[in-house]
Homo-oligomer: A and B are copies of this chain.
Amino acid sequence: MNEIKIFSPATVANVSCGFDVLGFCLDTVGDEMVIRKTDKKGVFVTKAEGFNLPLETELNVAGVSALAMYNALKPDCGFEIEIYKNIKPGSGIGSSAASAVGSVFGMNQLLGNPCNKTQLTAFAIKGEALASKCEHADNLAPALFGGFTLVKSISPLEILQIPTPNNLYATIIHPQIEIKTVEARAILPKQVPLEDAITQWSNFGSLIHGLHTNDYQLIKRALHDVIIEPHRSQLIPYFKEVKQTALQHGALGCGISGSGPSVFSLTEGLEQAKNVEAAIKKVYSKTNIEFDVFVSKINTEGVKIIG
């Protein structure tokens, strides 16, 4: 096998009470990538369609993660990478993570799977760092492992796979505004009230328990973020209206995807997810902001071969 086509999915990081550590994987939206083994040594990004991305390997997220892996494994061949990008950069659903994951997953397949998924995450972190200026894995881990993942620590890298209830769906709305990462970070407090921190870890522990026990009502009661959302939601126009509407139409919870501007809702069942989709579409249709909205089952497989 000298060429492989893969689907690298969009992901939601943070997930309300799981700020900075939890993420889950989407199914409907993702990038497609072709990875090709070549006699010529080195890593080359030969095509990037969909959005305006640099082709220079060192400036391309998929290129940088591929290079990290290439330099570590020193294989007796080279690789070409073609990117067919569907996830809009800056949308808050793991666009750079999908690129970073796709190249290393594809190379690993072509090399006969010498690396496990945690090792692939470690390479992908280098690509993600190019885009977000810091090493984090809360989008990478769900893209690689699928389902819900908890990044217990970055150093050493430890990723836990949390069970995903079978009937869990997400509705994502992407208001097409730009949130600068710098601004999204600067708005966070350095210190938080101990009382709020206790509420947050109580909710987070309850969420992990709810995911293990398929307890949708507990998941609903746990999906609250008393620490980050009160600050970052100010950067997303009509966040309150969207959240209120989603909850009124049956969402278990609703929060900021990554650092925004996308907003996710979780629901039990496809029908509820579509109800939420229709309802929050109405909210944004009344504004002058462009937006996309879609429904996705939680993807328990993660990045995968499609050809």
In the docked arrangement, what's the CA distance between A227 and B195, Å? 12
Shortest Cβ distance from A194 into B: residue: B192
Number of this chain's copies in the assembly equals 2
Residue A302 lies at the interface, judged by CB distance under 8 Å to chain B: no
List A113-134 residues whose CB lies under 8 Å from chain B.
none
Contact stretch, chosen from A16-24, A40-48, A102-110, A173-181: A16-24
When distances are taken between beta carbons in the complex, the residues of chain B under 8 Å from A194 are 188-192, 227
CB pair B222–A21 under 8 Å, yes or no, is: no
CB pair A201–B152 under 8 Å, yes or no, is: no
Residue A300 lies at the interface, judged by CB distance under 8 Å to chain B: no
In the docked arrangement, what's the CA distance between A207 and B152, Å? 10
CB pair B206–A152 under 8 Å, yes or no, is: yes
When distances are taken between beta carbons in the complex, the residues of chain B under 8 Å from A221 are 152, 158
In the docked arrangement, what's the CA distance between A22 and B206, Å? 11
Q: Mark A158-201, 1 if CB is under 8 A from B, else 0.
A: 10101000000000000000000000000011111110011011
Whole-angstrom distance from the CB of A60 to the nearest CB of chain B? 30
In the docked arrangement, what's the CA distance between A245 and B218, Å? 39
Whole-angstrom distance from the CB of A121 to the nearest CB of chain B? 16
CB pair B190–A190 under 8 Å, yes or no, is: no
Task: Knowing A209-B162, A222-B152, say if A197 contacts B192 (CB, 8 Å).
Answer: yes
CB pair A227–B197 under 8 Å, yes or no, is: yes
Starting from the known contacts A192-B192, A192-B194, 6 additional A-B residue pairs (CB-CB under 8 Å) come to: A18-B205, A21-B201, A150-B206, A152-B206, A152-B218, A201-B201
Which residue numbers of A lie inside 8 Å of B, CB to CB?
Answer: 17-22, 150-153, 158, 160, 162, 188-194, 197-198, 200-209, 212, 218, 221-222, 227
Closest 3 CB pairs of A and B: A201-B201, A197-B197, A191-B191
